[in-house]
């Protein structure tokens, strides 16, 4: 199967439109902080012949696929195995001091969702893995075996925004006393058994628990809290950042950090805003931009996307 048949980049044209003005400059460098299978990267390299691309990903399988896909551009790409909060170290290792653009396409990738054995899906039985980087140690199986009832309740509540977090944590701790959790179907069965029928009618009962486990395994929110400021620091004057998030917890972090970067630092009540207090960035979009109905129909993975973007106005004094 061709790579384009299993991977349609989300909001590709809008990303090109937003990042384009910064990438047309001589010597432009774009960091694709979530390279995945290289769909966005390929399009940018095709459309901007002078562009150098730095692709980051924690998933070795994704890097291998992207490397093959981007072979025609091998002289203009640098692929780095790292989590995206390692952007500064990755750029330093390449001798790059600042970049023209940064693109984030957050969340679980098409590759990770479509490969059942990775264990990300609650709808298909698989080992309870959920690692985006299979060289890391923490898995969903280990969390379910070792976390206390209180710890499980916390991550289900905080990362899954699950109203039945306490009930699910209690059921898991009780069940593991007789049978360890090793397969996703086991976890789904335990969750379903203690979920009221009326709640099940509203959606799959395991959806939020699986989201919470995935976030905990990969430390996604903590990494994002570090990655956005690090990326903003790397963007040159006139450079741009585009971030696509797919769930409210991620989008909340992105919104907060971009708002801070695009706000004046002047003390309240100051009659005149001094130059050193002027915002470092300006927002390119009011609020979060959603996919059109046409885009959602063409690419179902765009259904929940929230896109935000900003441009650097100046460097800090």
Parse the chain into domains and list their residue ranges. 3-105+220-312, 116-218
Q: Is 300 exposed, middle or buried (0-12, 13-18, 19+ CB in 10 A)?
A: exposed
C-alpha 205/C-alpha 167 separation (Å) is 12
Question: Pairing mode, if any, of strands 281-283 and 235-245?
Answer: unpaired
Nearest 10 degrees: Cα torsion 190, 196, 197, 203: -70
Question: What was the pLDDT predicted at 116?
Answer: 60
Note the CATH number of domain 3-105+220-312: 3.40.50.150
Question: What was the pLDDT predicted at 8?
Answer: 80
Q: What is the DSSP letter of 156?
A: H
From first to last of its 317 residues, what are the pLDDT tens digits of the chain?
344 444 689 999 999 999 999 999 999 999 999 999 999 999 999 999 999 999 999 999 899 999 999 999 999 999 999 999 999 999 999 999 999 999 999 987 666 566 666 777 888 899 999 998 888 899 999 999 999 999 999 999 999 999 999 999 999 999 999 999 999 999 999 999 999 999 988 889 999 999 999 999 999 999 999 999 999 999 999 999 999 999 999 999 999 999 999 997 666 666 666 666 689 999 999 999 999 999 999 998 899 999 999 999 998 87
Question: Pairing mode, if any, of strands 52-57 and 306-312?
Answer: unpaired
Question: What was the pLDDT predicted at 182?
Answer: 96
Nearest to 132 by CA among 82, 91, 180: 82
Question: What was the pLDDT predicted at 1?
Answer: 37
Question: What was the pLDDT predicted at 270?
Answer: 65
Question: What was the pLDDT predicted at 264?
Answer: 77
Q: Is the pTM of this model over 0.85?
A: yes
Arch. (CATH architecture) of 116-218:
Orthogonal Bundle (1.10)
Domains 3-105+220-312 and 116-218 share a fold: no
> Residues comprising the binding site for S-adenosyl-L-methionine?
38-40, 57, 84, 105, 112
Output helix, strand, coil percentages for the chain, rounded to the nearest 5: 50, 15, 35
> Residues comprising the binding site?
38-40, 57, 84, 105, 112
């Amino acid at each position: 199967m061709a790579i384009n048949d299993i991977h349609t980049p989300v909001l590709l044209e809008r990303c090109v439109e937003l990042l384009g003005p910064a990438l047309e400059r001589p010597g432009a460098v774009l960091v694709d902080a979530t390279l995945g299978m290289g769909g966005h990267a390929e399009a940018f390299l095709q459309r901007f012949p002078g562009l150098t691309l730095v692709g980051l990903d924690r998933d070795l399988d994704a890097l291998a696929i992207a490397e093959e896909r981007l072979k025609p551009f091998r002289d203009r790409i640098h692929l780095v195995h790292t989590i995206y909060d390692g952007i500064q170290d990755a750029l330093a290792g390449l001798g790059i001091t600042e970049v023209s653009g940064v693109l984030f396409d957050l969340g679980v990738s098409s590759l990770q969702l479509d490969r059942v054995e990775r264990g990300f899906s609650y709808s298909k039985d698989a080992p309870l893995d959920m690692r985006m980087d299979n060289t890391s140690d923490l898995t969903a199986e280990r969390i379910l075996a070792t976390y206390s009832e209180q710890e499980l309740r916390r991550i289900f509540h905080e990362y899954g925004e699950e109203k039945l977090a306490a009930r699910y944590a209690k059921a898991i701790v009780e069940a593991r006393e007789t049978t360890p959790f090793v397969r996703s179907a086991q976890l789904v069965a335990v969750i379903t058994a203690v979920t009221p029928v009326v709640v099940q009618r509203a959606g799959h009962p395991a959806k939020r628990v699986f989201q919470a486990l995935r976030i905990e395994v990969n430390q996604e929110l903590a990494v994002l809290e570090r990655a956005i400021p690090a990326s903003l620091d790397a963007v040159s004057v006139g450079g741009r950042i585009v971030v696509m998030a797919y769930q409210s917890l991620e989008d909340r972090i992105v919104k907060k950090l971009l708002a801070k970067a695009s706000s004046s630092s002047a003390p309240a009540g100051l009659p005149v805003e001094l130059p050193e207090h002027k915002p470092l960035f300006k927002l390119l979009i009011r609020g979060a931009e959603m996919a059109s109905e046409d885009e959602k129909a063409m690419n179902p993975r765009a259904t929940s996307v929230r896109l935000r973007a900003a441009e650097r106005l100046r460097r800090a004094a």
